[in-house]
Amino acid sequence: MLTFTKMNGAGNDFVVIDNRDLSITLSKEQIALLCDRHRGIGADGLLAVEPAEAGADYKFRYYNADGGEAEMCGNGARCFGAYTAQLSSPAKTEVSFETIAGTLGAEIIGDNVRIAMSDPFDLAMNIPVQTADLGDVHFVNTGVPHAVAFVEDLPALDVVSNGAAIRYHDHFAPNGTNANFAAAVAESHIAIRTYERGVEGETLACGTGMCACALFHHILTGAASPIKVDVAGGDTLEIGFVNDGNNNFTEVTLTGPADFVFTGQTDLVG
């Protein structure tokens, strides 16, 4: 039997397992089954807590709903931070963890978690990617790759078709990219919708995608940090950052909710 905790961060939901003793080995197919919303527990991805290897408190492993491992997940990192903070007695208010994208820190602030993200890289404006419903597309890696397009009518946009067109575009081959669509709400306030690679559909929120959209909103409009971001799940999160004046960003933070839903056991993995 596998013991797990179900969590969600702004509607982005996860199966979380404690594998600090490294006794759990899951195949890609088993992870996909656990994340299946009809035959499994149901989730956008799976988080595994493992022992740290480079001096942090824990090691962060993240797998998309298709079972493939990814470098990072912003909403998953907030859930991971909230989960691992509770593993100590008394519970911690700050934890650090190692990811493929670098070592991150999480700070528990009431019902919210603030993640100190890794520095973005590979930022590029106006890349040669077009779909019928979009204008300019921009790109940055905020822990995982993200393409961003600003649109006039965000609620009416066909996120699945436009997202898939960008996700599988030759420009991003062979690994593809996540695709985000954003619209301004106010000077330092945007709304976004995201098509996630590995989920292969729209999700209610994406933390690294929020960071990408906030950075491009700042570049295009001069909006000051922090920037509020409304997500499809109904929550509003906050992205902080420092720009050196040449669009080299540091001190990127992601602040928002991380909720425990339930704990259970399953024999889906034998």
Q: What is the residue-wise DSSP string for 18-67?
A: E-TT------HHHHHHHH-TTTSS--SEEEEEE--SSSSSEEEEEEETTS
Centre a 10 Å sphere on the Cβ of residue 234 and count the other Cβ atoms it contains.
10
Task: Write down the residue that tokens 């919708």 correspond to.
Answer: 193
Which structure tokens are listed for 85?
A: 């903070």
The secondary structure of 81-114 as a DSSP string is HHHHHTTSSSPPSEEEEEETTEEEEEEEETTEEE
Cα 21 to Cα 232: distance, rounded to the nearest angstrom: 36
Per-residue tokens: 58: 């824990």
Which amino acid appears at position 121 of this protein?
A: F
Catalytic residue list: 73, 206
- Phi then psi for residue 81, to 5 deg, are -65, -45
